Amino acid sequence: MLDLTHRPRRLRTSKAIRDLTQETTLHTSDFVFPLFLIEGTNKQEEVASMPNIFRYSIDNALKVCEELQTLGIRAIDLFGVPDKKDETGSEALNPKGLIQRGIRAIKKEFPDLCVMTDIALDPFTSHGHDGLVKDGKILNDETVEVLCEMACSHAECGADVVAPSDMMDGRVGAIREALDDEGFIDVAIMAYSAKYASSFYAPFREALHSAPKFGDKKTYQMNPANSDEAMREIELDISEGADIVMVKPAMVYLDIVRRARERIETPIAVYNVSGEYSMIKAAAQNGWIDGERVMMETLLSMKRAGAKLIFTYFAIEAAKLLKQS
């Protein structure tokens, strides 16, 4: 005999009742749009492996910011593709560098847009690693000193949030101290706390011409097999002063997001990375999946797992759909 005391399907009988009992809702204000800057004027280059994602010169990036604001997207994460790369990534500290000029221009025109900036050396180093290198090793403490200078340089230009994505030990505490010493007490730190050594970053590295020239990033980014270690990294970053912690990539690491959510109250961000974007785009272009639906389902899963902020190349497309619904 069927026991039908409970019929869970009752709450699925109409759109109204489904909406009323829906547990998780995506908002445009959850999204952070990663923006790639290049030198020059009136430039816009599509990233070959990321359909509809472009590198923009600063003047064109301002037009994108305008669109973001109109759509209700509140934040960007700035990455630079500088013309000049060298062994120590010295261009990262140039007060008139690409990112520094970009932050100033964007904050001047869009003071309400939350400008986050990537803190890591990889786009600026000739070898493509996130830190300084000696005898084939990525140096930790020496790199942290440079990252502190980089964070202060971005804060000086008006960045609202600095986002260290390098995975050096102790960098969050050091950056907090450096920012405070220079009076930037309100500049927040969004720490890439559980950042895995992932193969999903390939299209991003193409976008930034930043693939490592030797070795890999496994001595600083995390082993994809580990979950306890992610909790340790997250707790360390919070104790060092992180205002927001990130899990990256997103799609195949939602167990880490959920586990962190159950342990900590600090806001959690996920980075829906380049490879995740490109896979969906490629399948959609082939007509194998409904790209828009898969996009929304994917973004929703990140929120449901426990993330509040979602860094995603889908931000504009998803915001347009949310506006219609």
State the catalytic residues.
Answer: 195, 248
Instruction: At 105, list the tokens.
Output: 């221009």
Residues 129-158 binding ligand PBG (CB under 6 A) are 130
Q: How far apart are CA 294 and CA 300, in angstroms?
A: 10
Residues 193-232 binding ligand PBG (CB under 6 A) are 201, 204-205, 217
Among 78, 138, 256, 273, the residue binding ligand PBG under the rule CB under 6 A is 273
Instruction: At 25, list the tokens.
Output: 């809702």
Does a cis peptide bond (omega within 30 degrees of 0) precede residue 249?
yes
> H helices within the chain, ranges in order?
15-20, 58-71, 98-109, 141-157, 171-181, 202-208, 228-239, 254-263, 274-285, 291-305, 315-324
Q: Are 268 and 246 in contact (CB under 8 A)?
A: yes
Whole-number minimum distance, CB 310 to ligand PBG, in Å? 12
Dihedral of CA atoms 181, 131, 251, 73 in degrees, nearest 10, equals: 50
Cβ-based nearer residue to ligand PBG, 104 or 205: 205
Among 118, 160, 233, 237, the residue binding ligand PBG under the rule CB under 6 A is 118
Contact window for ligand PBG (CB under 6 A) among 16-24, 102-110, 114-122, 228-236 = 114-122
Whole-number minimum distance, CB 264 to ligand PBG, in Å? 22
Which residues neighbour 93 within 8 Å (Cβ) at sequence distance 6 or greater? 146, 149, 150, 153
Q: How far apart are CA 275 and CA 278, in angstroms?
A: 5
Whole-number minimum distance, CB 207 to ligand PBG, in Å? 8
CA atoms within 13 A on the CB side of 280: 20
Cβ-based nearer residue to ligand PBG, 121 or 260: 121
Site membership for ligand PBG, residue 278 (CB under 6 A):
no
Q: How far apart are CA 259 and CA 270, in angstroms?
A: 13
Cβ-based nearer residue to ligand PBG, 52 or 70: 52
- Token pair 């898969």: residue: 294
Cβ-based nearer residue to ligand PBG, 65 or 120: 120
Size of the site for ligand PBG (CB under 6 A): 12
Cβ-based nearer residue to ligand PBG, 47 or 178: 47
Among 91, 122, 233, 237, the residue binding ligand PBG under the rule CB under 6 A is 122
Whole-number minimum distance, CB 263 to ligand PBG, in Å? 24
Site membership for ligand PBG, residue 120 (CB under 6 A):
yes
Whole-number minimum distance, CB 204 to ligand PBG, in Å? 3
Site membership for ligand PBG, residue 274 (CB under 6 A):
yes
Q: Give the DSSP letter of residue 14.
A: S
Cβ-based nearer residue to ligand PBG, 26 or 150: 150
Whole-number minimum distance, CB 165 to ligand PBG, in Å? 4
Instruction: Give the other-Cβ count within 10 Å of 279's Cβ.
Output: 16
Q: Are 69 and 110 in contact (CB under 8 A)?
A: yes
**Binding site residues, ligand PBG, CB under 6 A:** 118, 120, 122, 130, 165-166, 201, 204-205, 217, 273-274
